[in-house]
Structure 1
Amino acid sequence: MATKPMTKTQLVAALAEDMGTDKKSASAALDAMVGLITREVSGGGAVTLPGVGKIYCRERPERMVRNPATGEQIKKDADKVVKMTIAKALKDSVNG
């Protein structure tokens, strides 16, 4: 069941077919959407894609981590991480 993920070229081609437009327009729409999501999430906001999920940024506090090679404890500064919560509709379609 392990299949390769869809590439951007394949995604653009499928999007163009579903939209009934050319690949250039589909690529521009995809790039605009990615730019919008990046801008919103990097600014601390969140984006909900209906039927897919919610993409948001979460802050992680400062913490102690272990170097697996040496076992040494190192203090890691606080940082931000991008998270995604999957929509129930998508979960149900995958499992059902």
Structure 2
Amino acid sequence: MTTANEIADKIAGEQNLTKAQEKTIVDSVCKQIAEAAKSGAETNLPGFGKFKATETPEREGRNPATGATIKIAASKKLTFAPAKAVKDALNG
């Protein structure tokens, strides 16, 4: 697993910034993606992919312990669709 701190450390080394400055930037980017999703907007990072919120409707499920049918509430989730360059890197 790669953490936000590790990403900030790598960027700080590449861009001659302090780790604290880069941590602030990484945190800000993540916050902006979350805020955009919360408002229903899609975030497109060219060459990387798109983040957007999607709605999952209410549905029926089963309690695995008892087998009883339960209702699972509708919810929103954040989805990510990678750009072609990322797909190619993963599969190449």
Per the normalisation by structure 1, the TM-score is 0.88
| 1:16-35 to 2 correspondences below 5 Å | 16-35=12-31
Structure 1, unpaired ranges of 5+:
none
Q: Does 1:70 align with 2:63?
A: no
| Residue 86 of structure 1, CA deviation | 1.1
Would you say the 8 A contact 2:4–2:26 is kept in 1? no
Identity score, percent: 35
Structure 2, unpaired ranges of 5+:
none
User: What is the alpha-carbon root mean square deviation over aligned residues?
Assistant: 1.1
SS of 2:9 mapped into structure 1: helix
Runs of 4+ aligned residues of structure 1 deviating over 6 Å after TM superposition are none
Per the normalisation by structure 2, the TM-score is 0.91
State the number of aligned residues. Answer: 92
Of 40, 52, 64, the residue aligned with 1:56 is: 52
